[in-house]
Structure 1
Amino acid sequence: MIKIIGMIMVLLSSTLIGYLKSLKYTLRRRTIRAILSSLNILITEITYNQITLSEAFAKLSETSESGIGKLYLIASQILNSNEGYTASEAWEIALDKVGDLNLNQDDIRILKSFGKGLGNSDIYNQEKNFKFTSELLKKQLSDAEELSKKNEKLYKNLGVLVGIAVIIIFL
């Protein structure tokens, strides 16, 4: 009886590990989509509604997914803190503070380079920065979807198969 319970626990835990590993791919895709969506809203707020970056960040913090919303909230708070931070510095600090956004290093690098262009030029050049960043993130999204198709199923099946292999070894 104890042996059967042990086998079930081994199988369940290895399967869970496989599913958690595959979940990272899903979360990355979801996060990139949320960032792309929020960037579209941000450029609209800045160009057409002509509100300040801190106001736009605050607005987005309320409507974006939790991780992305936290990024915008921190950036808004830094800009409103009257400590003399520029928009690009506030964005970089917020990216560092928010922690794990389920993104890889290339995604973070793109977001940091986007931040370097924030608030440094007129609206026309800001719009070009947004479009360029959106194109880069769309490419990252396409890569993430490819990786996801390839690896999600692999990790799920691998988790189950490793569990079965461990059970067979202990029999």
Structure 2
Amino acid sequence: MIKLLGALLIVFSTTWVGWDIAKRLVARPKQIRDIRAALQILEAEIMYGHMPLREAVLKLAKQIPDPISSGFTLFADNLNEESQTVTSAWRKSIEEMRKWTELEEKELEILFQFGETLGKHDRDTQQKQIQLTLTHLEREELMALDKQSKYDKMVKSLGFFSGLLIAILLL
């Protein structure tokens, strides 16, 4: 009876790990999509809203879901600190957002590069920089969706069957 309970616990645990990994695979493209939406809103605010960057960022943070909205709220808070430049505030907020998201190094590097240009150009050049960033993020989103479609079911099944194998070997 105890062996059976242990075997069920092993199968449950490995299945849960598989589902957790699959959940991360699903979250990554959505988070990239949310960042793209945020940058499109920021572009509209820069081009047509004529409001200060901090206010535009706070406004867009209310329109997108967590955890991405929390990263933009943190960016707005970092902009409030007088010792921070726009670039350093952006970098600091992206570094913090890295902990809450499933973004990979490629997406983070794209965002860091965007932060280097943020607030340093006129509106037209800034719009071009946003469009370039959106293009790069779109490519990463497509790659993330491809990875999700390839590995989602496999990871779930692998979690279950590896637990089943371990349980059988131990019994």
Same fold (TM over 0.5): yes
Distance 1:129 1:68 in 2: 20
Shift of 1:77: 1.1
Distance 1:98 1:106 in 2: 14
1:71 aligned residue: 71
Structure 1 counterpart of 2:12, one-letter code? L
Distance 1:106 1:44 in 2: 25
Contact 2:67–2:97 (CA under 8 A) maintained in structure 1: yes
Give the TM-score, by structure 2 length. 0.95
Segments of 5+ residues of structure 2 without an aligned counterpart are none
Give the RMSD, CA atoms, in angstroms. Answer: 1.1
Instruction: Tell me: higher relative CO, structure 1 or 2? Use CA pairs within 8 A at least 6 residues apart.
Output: 2
1:61 aligned residue: 61
Q: State the aligned residue count.
A: 170
Contact 2:38–2:61 (CA under 8 A) maintained in structure 1: no
Give the TM-score, by structure 1 length. 0.95
1:92 aligned residue: 91
Distance 1:48 1:102 in 2: 32
SS state at 1:22 partner: helix
* Sequence identity (%): 29
Segments of 5+ residues of structure 1 without an aligned counterpart are none
Kindly indicate whether residue 107 of structure 2 is the aligned counterpart of residue 103 of structure 1. Answer: no
Kindly indicate whether residue 43 of structure 2 is the aligned counterpart of residue 51 of structure 1. Answer: no
1:132 aligned residue: 132
SS state at 1:63 partner: coil
Structure 2 counterpart of 1:86, one-letter code? T
Deviations 1:92-125 (A, max 9, x none): 1111123322100000000000111100010000
Distance 1:78 1:169 in 2: 54
SS state at 1:121 partner: coil
2:10 aligned residue: 10
Contact 1:29–1:141 (CA under 8 A) maintained in structure 2: yes
Deviations 1:23-48 (A, max 9, x none): 11111111001001111111111111
Deviations 1:135-162 (A, max 9, x none): 0000000000111111111110100110
1:36 aligned residue: 36
1:113 aligned residue: 113
Distance 2:98 2:141 in 1: 20
